[in-house]
Amino acid sequence: MLLRLHDAREGGFGSAPKFPQPVYLEFLFEAIDSIPDPAVQASARRALRLTLDKMALGGMFDQVGGGFHRYSTDEKWLVPHFEKMLYDNGQLASLYARSYRATGDEFDATILRRTLDYVLREMTAEGGAFYSAQDAEVNHREGQNYLWTREQFVDALGDEEWEFASKVYGVSAGTNFRDPHHPEDAPANVLFLKERVGPVDAARLARVNERLFEARKKRDQPGLDDKAIVSWNGLMIAGMADGGTALKERKYLEAARRAAAFILKHMRDEPRAHARGGLLRTHRAGTSKTPAFLEDYAMLMHGLIALHRAGLALDDPDNTSLAAARELWGEAKQRFGDAARPGVLFDTMPEQSDLIVRTSGTYDGAMPSGPAVMMNNLIDLYEITGERSYLEEAARVLASISHAVAESPVGASVATRGLLRLLRLDATLVEAIGAGPGGGPEVVRAHDTPVRVFAAEERVEVARDRPAELAVELRIAKGFHVTAHEPGVEGLVPLEFELRGGSGVRLAVDYAKGEAYQGAALPPEDKGKLMVYAGLLRFALRLERTEEAWSGRPMIVVTYQACDDEACFQPMTVELDVAIDPG
């Protein structure tokens, strides 16, 4: 499935806008040696290398200052949405570190080092924690800090280096960016590399970047979100630890240790009833607040485990991070578990009354799923300690979310990666709990997902003069509902059909309004606001050709969030088993 989604020309998965999706690439790294077909294995290796290269060569990587922007607005990774997020850079640092350890490719090492140095320089607080994000806009202009005109290039570099740099960074080919919200502004350039540069040019380019960065520092700078978030810090702690291991540089290990120490000391609630206080999710200006979610415990555990392993790899062991990780698991199990259903982990604690329902997440979006990360943490603890109880706990977590792996292994790729790891370690344990493909015990509250999706056709043909019609049914189990396309209440994911993985075709859907939810989960003042679908739903999908050339393998996916009166499943994205052909 991932290789079907892969863009074999530009790398990444799907079409524009393109997100880095490190969870997909981590899964390929995990699975690649287990692929029995040599041709498929070779395709997976090409997908990894192409995607890593294209992301780093394009404008989504800050060529002057290092670090990755949020996503690319086009399929070529050229023009980014200029916001920089800590969680992206943490995950991508771990990814390039893994690639460098596997291949020894110095290009990976360069991108890794520049990403980590950017975080140390611009995203690290005095106490050691990492800041959350940098804004996309400066003076209400998208990317103003990162864009260059020819005149700015010449002023910063002089005639001697201008010619070299303008060729390397594509400036000599003409402008590639115009702010759609301010067409009166002059066009400018997002810097990118057409290809890797050789060692001699790389050294020269590093000197050019220093001069460009000094010039850029004189400009107005993007706003900084200076709060620290536990889960995001956990991902960057892992990125620093993994980077320190791969590059054999202790400064990254020390940065990871400082961040972890700050969180464990300063982002804790007051102890109660002789028990240690729980994690507090955010910290800003000397104040920590908001009880942490499962994802905070899971991502911080992930970072602490990476920190423990980095200490061993760099011959500087420190068992405090491992001890803290083990302690966090006990706290998370108590706060987010369900004694009646071992293995179930909710995203929030039961007393968080500001939420409509308690969810148990399985879908990996910009942040990976909390339960899935926790499952992989438990596997890590087993590998480190040899204590089988951790492996058994991981299997129970897998059992509770096995429906997601069966329904959408790509959408739940972190859980699928955990399943693969468990099968390697003890396949009989997985089989014993019934969490293998196609089966599973009771999950959260239902034997299987309460929604079934059926398409009337297995193949449709879309011609320029002849659109295709496709009838789709959603069958929702009694007692459940899904959020309508226009929910009317914030915080829930609407039902939506969309096309992914190709171009040259578009999708139109007529959505019903739905019916007002009257169940007990909503407070009285919100009665009638939430719109839902229940029972049997029929949708007419219309596929039409566009002016673009047909490319890739377009597929229809449907995203929905199913709930009953007590709780909601994590949003799920399911592919329709329908082939779409050009007419």
Contact 93, 109 (CB under 8 A): no
CA distances from 322 to 254, 263, 278, 298 (A): 16, 15, 18, 14
Which residue intervals of the chain bear CATH 1.50.10.20? 228-433
Neighbours of 468 (CB within 10 A): 20
**Does the pTM of the predicted model rise above 0.85?**
no
**Which residue from 461, 422, 448 is spatially nearest to 569, judged by alpha carbons?**
448
CB neighbours of 257 closer than 8 A, spacing ≥ 6? 307, 318, 321
Q: What is the pLDDT of residue 570?
A: 65
CB neighbours of 30 closer than 8 A, spacing ≥ 6? 417, 420, 421
Q: What is the pLDDT of residue 83?
A: 96
Contact 61, 112 (CB under 8 A): no
Gap between the Cα atoms of 20 and 364, Å rounded? 13
Which residue intervals of the chain bear CATH 2.60.40? 451-582
**Which residue from 373, 236, 222 is spatially nearest to 293, judged by alpha carbons?**
373
Q: What is the pLDDT of residue 274?
A: 40
451-582: which CATH topology? Answer: Immunoglobulin-like (2.60.40)
Q: What is the pLDDT of residue 353?
A: 42
SS (HEC) of 395-449: HHHHHHHHHHHHHCCCCCHHHHHHHHHHHHHHHHHHHHHCCCCCCCCCECCECCC
Centroid of chain to Cα 393? 25
Gap between the Cα atoms of 345 and 110, Å rounded? 38
Q: What is the pLDDT of residue 355?
A: 40
User: Do you find a cis peptide bond into 17, omega within 30 degrees of 0?
Assistant: yes
Q: Which residues pair with 287 in a beta bridge?
A: 284
Gap between the Cα atoms of 512 and 509, Å rounded? 10
228-433: which CATH topology? Answer: Glycosyltransferase (1.50.10)
Q: What is the pLDDT of residue 154?
A: 94
Mean pLDDT by 10 residues, the chain (583 residues): 88 89 95 93 96 98 98 95 96 98 97 98 97 95 95 92 94 92 92 95 96 97 96 98 98 98 93 67 95 95 98 95 97 90 84 50 82 97 97 94 82 93 90 47 41 84 89 88 85 84 86 83 67 91 88 82 75 79 82
Q: What is the pLDDT of residue 15?
A: 81
Q: Token pair of 560, please?
A: 């929905």
